[in-house]
Amino acid sequence: MITSSQNSKLKWIRSLLSDRKTRLSEGAFVVEGVRLVEEALRAGWTPLLICYSKTISARGAQIVESFTSCSAEVEEVSDRILEAVSDTQTPQGLIAVFPIPDAESPAQPDFILILDELRDPGNLGSILRSATAAGVQACFLTPGTADVFAPKVVRAAMGAHFHLPLFNWSWDQISPFCEQRGLKIFLADKTGGSPYWKVDLKKPVGLVIGGEAEGAGARARQVAHCVITIPMPGSSESLNAAVAAGVILFEVVRQRI
């Protein structure tokens, strides 16, 4: 059992939780809680490390046992030490480290999401959750977007990381990718453009959702084929980025049913 906060494995977890550069250099990220670690198990992911404490639930203990049987590295940690390491307000006695995968882009996608300079981790995670539910085949994140493997993003995404291929690409990569595959780029904007339900979203779609304050950047506007908007007859200036994304993502689903 690990009882020291100075243990090298726990220091590694703390560094992965707090530092984007460490996540990039190590090619790993942290997942906390029974629900998310269980989702990774269901998706067939193998952790680099599992840490658990005696406070773990029976459901959590079954997850640990499953990973132990597949030769994952498993460590019991004292309750106090694991709580100190945790990034959540209500630790569940289970923390896992997973490798950041080398995702393969889909050969012939017809529904992708492009997040352009989206900086809020909570919004980013919520959008990934909605995208996974809507059947998005890949998500591309441009420079300036929040770290998709940051703890708050992982929690808000509720398991989307284990199902949705994620790519940190520039527009110099995204634009030719869409062009070569016949994807029409629709840029969501708070003003101007066509109401989202009046455009044909049954064709291959690359949906762009921009940042919370300024919207999508200049390059996104340059390459977009069409600007769409969500009409708002009320007094609000704009919708939360995650809410707006959800509305349009499921309009794609509605049109294709």
Residues 89 and 140 in one domain: no
- Out of 71, 99, 127, a domain closes at 99
Angle between helices 34-42 and 58-69 (to 10 degrees): 40
Residue 202: both structure tokens together: 């049954």
- Out of 44, 72, 99, a domain closes at 99
Residues 52 and 117 in one domain: no
Residues 88 and 180 in one domain: no
Output the pLDDT for position 72: 85
Residues 125 and 247 in one domain: yes
Residue closest to 247 by CA, chosen among 121, 80, 111, 134: 134
The pTM score is 0.94
Q: Cβ(140)–Cβ(106) under 8 Å?
A: no
- Out of 99, 123, 157, a domain closes at 99
Calculate mean pLDDT across residues 93-121: 95
pLDDT in tens, 3-16: 888 999 999 999 99
Q: How many domains does the chain have?
A: 2
Residues 90 and 198 in one domain: no
Residues 174 and 236 in one domain: yes
Output the pLDDT for position 5: 87
Percent of the chain with pLDDT over 90: 87
Residues 93 and 156 in one domain: no
Output the pLDDT for position 89: 79
What is d(CA 98, CA 184) in angstroms, rounded to the nearest whole number? 34
Output the pLDDT for position 189: 94
- In the chain, what is the greatest distance between 2 CA atoms, to the nearest angstrom? 60
Output the pLDDT for position 74: 95
Assigned domain for 195 exists: yes
pLDDT in tens, 10-35: 999 999 999 999 999 999 999 999 99
Residue 174: CATH number of its domain? 3.40.1280.10
Residue closest to 227 by CA, chosen among 208, 246, 203: 208
Assigned domain for 53 exists: yes
Buried b or exposed e, range 13-44, using 16+ CB within 10 angstroms:
bbbbbeeeeebeebebbbbbbbbbbbbbbeee
What is d(CA 171, CA 125) in angstroms, rounded to the nearest whole number? 21
Output the pLDDT for position 128: 98
Q: Cβ(186)–Cβ(221) under 8 Å?
A: no
Residues 140 and 43 in one domain: no
Residues 93 and 116 in one domain: no
What is d(CA 6, CA 176) in angstroms, rounded to the nearest whole number? 48
pLDDT in tens, 137-191: 999 999 999 999 999 999 999 999 999 999 999 999 999 999 999 999 999 998 8
pLDDT in tens, 202-241: 999 999 999 877 889 999 999 999 999 999 888 777 789 9
Q: Is the dihedral of CA 209, 210, 212, 213 positive or negative?
A: negative
Output the pLDDT for position 164: 98
pLDDT in tens, 38-81: 999 999 999 999 999 998 999 999 999 999 888 889 999 999 99
Residues 70 and 124 in one domain: no
Output the pLDDT for position 51: 96
Output the pLDDT for position 215: 87
Assigned domain for 243 exists: yes
Output the pLDDT for position 213: 77
Output the pLDDT for position 233: 84
Output the pLDDT for position 149: 98
Residue 229 belongs to domain spanning = 111-256
Residues 123 and 224 in one domain: yes
Assigned domain for 105 exists: no
Residues 251 and 156 in one domain: yes
